[in-house]
């Protein structure tokens, strides 16, 4: 087995954890390469490695190359935001299909991303990197409130805050800079940008080389809540028709983004706002979207994102995805804790399972465990996935999910 044709997924988290099964079904040996051994508690439940045939731990390029030397590696794929930089480096080292290593910082660091987009003429919010030392000596009078503070790299909207005055700004930067669970230095660097009102969307695209192959695989809208300055408490994530007029504008903008940052290989998702002044880019993620969106795309359209991504990195002929269409739609209900406490039981489970559009459910809590009040995507206590032909049914059923499902505390 040592010289089997192998596909490596670097740091598979969230949707990335399901690559293993697709790799095996495609006739390749599946390897999960873990560069971060100690994940934060919030992320740990999103990394299940049971679908991979081999698990390798390696923190850097040289260690990873040595560990993989006994395999015939045919593709290296990023399994999460954490894994994108090492994936590019390994792909380059092995002479495999990968995005250009020199442009990796632009795709990995949100501050560098915004600089590059603005330099290339792509509409994006202007962002600054800032540290507490600067705020101690300079209150940054050029900033116009409200502002958003977030880590320069990271996932799940952890430590994203709306700041309406200098005191809010200082506290938010301090939380980012002193985050003990940060996996990278970028996660300890605070990004500051203007807060923008308006709906937030994401577009999932497939990209295959410099030939100009670009396909929109999903167009969706976030429904978020703001509580106590936390602007990214997700309530629902809803798919929209790909022929929606907003989708055409968003896809055109996303294509410009991927060109500007040299993301030419793989499937990625880009988040943006669409307002009266046109699209503005929030951030891009150089990997499959999370929250089981790839699985839902397949249920709704028949397009297998895992197979498509695998074929792209392997350099195999791609199936015809020109006519991607959603015959069904999805709604992801993110379960929100209104208060902290020890869970006594969960009510409403049977009612939710009986809904016409119910597809599946993932719960991250159980009886007897302590839960905190929801403040971001990663602190949701579970997900309910709804799928149906009628978006009206999805709207009605999603309201029922949030009404029925409740945590009861001791």
Q: Is the pLDDT of residue 40 over 80?
A: no
Q: Is the pLDDT of residue 1 over 50?
A: no
Q: What is the DSSP letter of 45?
A: T
- pLDDT of the residue at 19: 96
Closest CA to 274 of 161, 197, 369: 197
Q: Given 3-state DSSP classes, what are the helix, strand and coil percentages for the chain, each rounded to the nearest 5? A: 35, 30, 35
Between 44 and 122, name the one with better pLDDT: 122
Structure tokens at 246: 């907003």
pTM exceeding 0.85: yes
398-409 average pLDDT score: 95
Q: What is the DSSP letter of 124?
A: B
Class of the CATH domain delimited by 104-122+196-327:
alpha beta
Residue intervals of the chain classified under CATH 3.30.470.20 are 104-122+196-327
- pLDDT of the residue at 329: 98
- pLDDT of the residue at 128: 83
The CATH classification of domain 5-98, taken from the options 3.40.50.720, 2.70.70.10, 3.40.50.20, 3.40.30.10: 3.40.50.20
Phi and psi for 72 in degrees, rounded to 5?
Answer: -95, 85
Q: What percent of the chain has pLDDT over 90?
A: 59
- pLDDT of the residue at 212: 72
Burial of 226 (0-12, 13-18, 19+ CB in 10 A): exposed
Residue intervals of the chain classified under CATH 3.30.1490.20 are 126-194
d(CA 183, CA 394): 37
Class of the CATH domain delimited by 126-194:
alpha beta
d(CA 77, CA 20): 11
Which DSSP helix (H) or strand (E) runs through 371? strand 370-371
- pLDDT of the residue at 392: 97
Residue 127 contacts residue 270 (beta carbons within 8 Å)? no
pLDDT in tens, 338-363: 889 999 999 999 999 999 999 999 99
Residue 293 contacts residue 204 (beta carbons within 8 Å)? yes
63-69 average pLDDT score: 96
Pick from 12-26, 115-129, 198-212 the range whose average pLDDT is largest.
12-26
pLDDT in tens, 358-400: 999 999 998 999 988 888 888 899 999 999 999 999 999 999 9
Residue intervals of the chain classified under CATH 3.40.50.20 are 5-98
- pLDDT of the residue at 322: 66
């Amino acid at each position: 087995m040592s010289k089997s044709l192998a596909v490596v997924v670097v740091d598979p988290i969230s949707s990335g954890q399901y690559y293993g099964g697709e790799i095996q079904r495609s006739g390749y040996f599946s390897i999960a390469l873990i560069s971060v051994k100690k994940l934060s508690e919030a992320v740990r439940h999103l990394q299940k490695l049971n679908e991979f045939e081999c698990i390798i731990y390696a923190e850097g390029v040289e260690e990873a190359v040595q560990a993989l030397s006994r395999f015939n590696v045919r593709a290296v794929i990023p399994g999460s935001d954490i894994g994108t930089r090492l994936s590019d480096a390994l792909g380059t080292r092995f002479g495999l299909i990968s995005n250009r290593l020199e442009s990796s910082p632009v795709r990995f660091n949100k501050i560098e991303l915004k600089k590059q987009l603005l330099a290339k003429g792509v509409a994006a919010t202007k962002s600054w990197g800032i540290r507490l030392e600067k705020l101690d000596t300079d209150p940054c009078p050029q900033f116009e409130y409200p502002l958003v503070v977030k880590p320069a790299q990271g996932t799940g909207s952890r430590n994203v805050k709306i700041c309406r005055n200098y005191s809010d700004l200082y506290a938010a930067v301090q939380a980012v800079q002193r985050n003990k669970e940060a996996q990278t230095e970028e996660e300890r660097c605070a990004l500051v940008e203007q807060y923008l009102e308006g709906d937030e969307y994401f577009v999932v695209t497939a990209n295959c080389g410099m030939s100009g192959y670009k396909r929109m695989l999903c167009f969706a809208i976030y429904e978020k809540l703001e509580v106590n300055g936390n602007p990214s408490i997700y309530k629902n994530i809803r798919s929209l028709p790909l022929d929606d007029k907003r989708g055409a504008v968003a896809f055109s903008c996303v294509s410009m983004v991927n060109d500007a940052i040299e993301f030419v290989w793989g499937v990625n998702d880009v988040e943006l706002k669409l307002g009266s002044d046109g699209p503005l880019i929030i951030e891009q993620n150089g990997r499959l979207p999370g929250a089981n969106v790839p699985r839902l795309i397949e249920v709704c359209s028949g397009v297998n994102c895992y197979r498509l991504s695998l074929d792209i990195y392997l350099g195999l002929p791609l199936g015809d995805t020109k006519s991607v269409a959603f015959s069904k739609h999805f709604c992801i209900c993110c379960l929100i804790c209104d208060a902290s406490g020890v869970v006594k039981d969960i009510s409403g489970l049977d009612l939710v399972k009986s809904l016409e559009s119910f597809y599946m459910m993932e719960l991250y809590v159980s009886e007897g465990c302590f839960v905190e009040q929801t403040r971001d995507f990663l602190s949701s206590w579970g997900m309910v996935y709804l799928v149906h032909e009628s978006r009206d049914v999805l709207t009605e059923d999603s309201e029922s999910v949030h009404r029925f499902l409740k945590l009861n505390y001791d």
